Structure 1
């Protein structure tokens, strides 16, 4: 499956990295994740799979349960305890960094990427920026994953209280999120051309490195939008136009601009 990635400067030296959410790049559920504990145990015990594959199945099972629980909170009546928990969850989710959301969007099913960026940008710089976010993601999310796993037994102690164990479920979500971001970082590194390709291109400007896993698409339309905007910081109107042009999630893109 090919994913369409969009890269552009959004505020000063801050760049935005986002994945298109159009139908051609969207992820489709595999339909093999069991829905019950019995089904999960049967699938884990009946099939001979590597430990990594079983871990993936377990994570997908937990993720499915978390998504269903979140949907239930979202549909809770206004003013109820579940509704208030949902509001708290939204505030916590707003603190998740956009780079983490971007890396999570690159699943193991992605076998190639198409990178769109303004024509005015140096393609080697775009590649280096993408490689940097992938390398830093493998380091940061591995560290945060270990920290979140360490906190899980501690927060599970709150289960004895007659209230929803919000700390436990939040740490569980963060564990899952860092797991997916780490996988996305590693997958992105596999798909990007290596550093020797940049050196080859700088030595021979007439020959650009080609990769079966990565296609580079500089956009003149992108350039036109940036020319009409403030060079130091893109206004919301321009960001909305970019999101429409490349089918991006506006909320995630605005997070990059609002980062302190």
Structure 2
């Protein structure tokens, strides 16, 4: 599956990394994910080759999504509605880079990177490698930290109130795990050996030994795992930036409309330090 990434500077040294929302590409059907503990146990016990950890995380994700929908549709002024408002405030603090890395799912095998034509292609790819490599370190540490807090927050279950700390830490654990998986996938797709394979395919003077070595190193990647596409239209929009405030909300909204991005996530890049 090909994912379309959009990369551009938003304010000073702050760059936006976002994935386009493709309506033609649907996520795995929830019917394939077990919805009860009985179904989960049956899938785990009957399947020997499947990844049991992924089944468990998909099961937890489905439960959390259904619980969130229940909070979202709660009547105004109710306890569930207040919890939903608190959840929105907490989610607003999630860094946009984490949201971006979570969007790189395991199904992604190709990348189409759109960036302003005035930027150097090597700099764009270097920035992508940096955010991927940094994500593998940061989210691995946060994942271990979140897992260590789960038993502590679970102790609050004895109180006659919704255990918000436990469910928030559980969500953060899942979120960091997804971001870690996305970081590793992105790093694999934009790594140096992926580029060497693309260059070797177009270089007719490459030696046979070098070509075989490149093929062995990238046996898990397609012949072209990423494509850099400079955009003059995006470059014209980015040139409207202000030296102090960066891109305005109007320009960001226009970019998001053209490239099908989440405006809220892009604005986070501009407002982040």
Give the TM-score normalised by structure 1: 0.91
**Aligned positions of 1:233-248 closer than 5 A:** 233-248=246-261
Shift of 1:227: 2.3
Decide whether the 8 Å contact of 1:193 with 1:211 is kept in 2.
no
How far residue 223 of structure 1 moved from its aligned partner, in angstroms, is 1.1
Question: Relative to 1, partners in 2 of residues 1:195 and 1:121: Cα closer, same or farther, differing over 3 Å?
Answer: farther
Query: Could you tell me which residue of structure 2 aligns to residue 216 of structure 1?
Result: 228
The 2-side partners of 1:224 and 1:25 are apart by 29
Q: Secondary structure at the match of 2:229?
A: strand
Are 2:9 and 2:238, in contact at CA under 8 Å, matched by a contact in 1?
no
Q: Note if 1:225 corresponds to 2:237.
A: yes
- Quote how far apart the aligned CAs of 1:134 are: 0.2
**Secondary structure at the counterpart of residue 185 of structure 2:** helix
Q: Cα deviations across residues 142-175 of structure 1 (Å, max 9, x unaligned)?
A: 0000000000000000011110000000000000
Q: CA deviation at 1:125?
A: 0.2
Determine if contact 1:103/1:184 at 8 Å carries over to the other structure: yes
Matches within 5 A, 1:14-163: 14-24=14-24, 27-29=27-29, 31-49=31-49, 53-163=51-161
Q: 2:6 touches 2:17 (CA, 8 Å); kept in 1?
A: yes
- The 3-state SS of whatever aligns with 2:74 is coil
Structure 2 unaligned regions, length at least 5: 200-221
What stretches of structure 1 of length at least 5 have no aligned partner? 202-209
Preserved CA contact (<8 Å) 1:4 1:25: no
Q: Check whether the contact 1:104–1:181 (CA below 8 A) recurs between aligned residues.
A: yes
Tell me the secondary structure at the aligned position of residue 187 of structure 1: helix
- For 1:44 and 1:155, the matched residues in 2 are separated by 27
What count of residue pairs does the alignment treat as equivalent?
249
Hey, what does 1:12 align to over in structure 2?
A: 12
* 1:190 CA displacement: 1.1
SS of residue paired to 2:32: coil
DSSP 3-state at the match of 1:79? coil
Whole-Å separation in 2 of the counterparts to 1:112 and 1:160: 48
d(CA) in 2 for partners of 1:180, 1:196: 23
CA distance in 2: counterparts of 1:80 and 1:42, whole angstroms: 37
The one-character-per-residue Cα deviations of 1:195-233 (angstroms, maximum 9, x if unpaired) are: 7948x99xxxxxxxx961101110011011122332550
TM-score (norm 2): 0.87
- 1:16-64 superposed Cα distances (whole Å, 9 cap, x missing partner): 00000122455343642111110000000011126xx100100000000
Match of 1:258 in 2: 271
How far apart, CA to CA, are the structure 1 residues paired with 2:194 and 2:79?
Answer: 56
What per-residue deviation string (whole Å, max 9, x for no partner) do you get for residues 170-190 of structure 1? 000000000000000000011
Aligned to 1:204: none
